[in-house]
Amino acid sequence: MELIFGLLGGLALFIFGMRTMSDGLSAAMGDGMRVILSKATRSRMAGLGLGTVIGGLIQSSASIVLFIGFINAGLMTLSQSIGPILGANIGTTLSVQLISFKLSDYCLPAIFIGLMIHMIARKRKLKYGGQAILGFGLLFLGMVFMGDSIKPHRELFEPWMAHINGSTMTGLITGTLVAALITGIIQSSGAVIGMGFAMISAGAITEFEGIYPIIIGANVGTCVTGLIGSIGTTVDARRAATTH
């Protein structure tokens, strides 16, 4: 029970931190992002670059839903959305790279500083910037909880992780499908990859072949969010979700 609640509680804290950080960054950017996006999509490379920035700030799945909403509202065409969609998938790897750094020692100061800024600041950008810092700290605190709960019980994961091995076709397919299914359920590729990082730090995964099928599956499963977000929208919006 200690393992289950520690793992699930840490995962919930990780997802909540990621959502809090994304919402804070999105709110800090404000409505100006819509204007920038409409101008940037006139050029394919500019759209790719802007999509990369947005994907790095608010995650690919959230940004894809944003683009689908723009298409559905007639603010963007299907062809204009391709560059930002590709960029969003590039950008989300940058945010995951940030998570991979060992910044867990700074999670508690980040939570305190972010909360104080969010409560005290009156300027919109500063206030929501504090929210983003708060989410950043909660995200890493969730990873700490997951890693600490796995460490004493890592031998329990060994029989399960033995089926996930990128060096064999069966292990690659199994790991990809499992990770895609979990990502589709919780709708967060970053959370699944973050859980993989926690298992590496706890010693449950010791080889690269054990993690990259999970990474591939997480990036496949994250497409579910866009597909769900396209329900009831225009044909082009649904095509954009399928393109993702």
Residue 137 to residue 144: CA distance in whole angstroms: 11
- At residue 32, the pLDDT reads 63
- At residue 192, the pLDDT reads 83
> Which residue's structure tokens are 């560059």?
83
Q: What is the pLDDT of residues 183-212, one digit of tens each?
A: 887 777 777 887 888 788 777 788 888 888
Instruction: Say if pTM beats, i.e. exceeds, 0.75.
Output: no
- At residue 97, the pLDDT reads 77
Q: What residues contact residue 8 under an 8 Å CB cut-off, 6+ apart?
A: none
- At residue 31, the pLDDT reads 61
Q: Measuring CA to CA, which residue among 54, 65, 49 is closest to residue 92?
A: 54
**Measured on CA atoms in the order 28, 34, 39, 40, is the torsion positive or negative?**
positive
Q: Measuring CA to CA, which residue among 175, 181, 178 is closest to residue 207?
A: 175
Q: What residues contact residue 112 under an 8 Å CB cut-off, 6+ apart?
A: 137
Residue 236 to residue 244: CA distance in whole angstroms: 12
Residues of the chain with pLDDT under 70: 26, 29-41, 58-60, 154, 157-158
